[in-house]
Amino acid sequence: MASKLQLLSTFKTQLISFCEELCELLPDDNEEFILLKIFIDSQIPIELAMQNFIRKINKNEGEVKNMIKERNDQFFLTKNVFKFVSKEKINKLSSVWNSNKLDAEDKDAIWRWMELFVNISVKYQQAD
């Protein structure tokens, strides 16, 4: 089983990769996602990001975790699981989610990212 330190490193690496994929999916909006990538890479303590993510997905008996599992679009419209990110950045993702900029394949890819983040956080909580 991976250590907490390894899982934090994986979480950070995958968040950065997610930002890179958003830049590719949304070239008109990539400046904001590039800034987000830099912020994650150099500004936010990743342990704090993980703790905030875990707190958010487990709140209200795992409501957010269930929304991700069920791929409920309201997740992107009403929940900010990345509390360490400014509301403007999250609102950008929410507005893009409702636009015609993302096709079904793009949305599926984003859901897989969310599922990955949940899986990493669950392993982190179980690690010694």
Give the residue, 124 or 23, on which the prediction is more confident. Answer: 124
- Give the mean pLDDT of 4-18: 96
**50-79 burial code (b ≥16 CB/10 A, e <16):** bebbbebbeeeeeebbebbeeeeeebbeeb
Average predicted confidence (pLDDT) for the chain: 86
Give the residue, 111 or 2, on which the prediction is more confident. Answer: 111
Write down the pLDDT at residue 104: 93
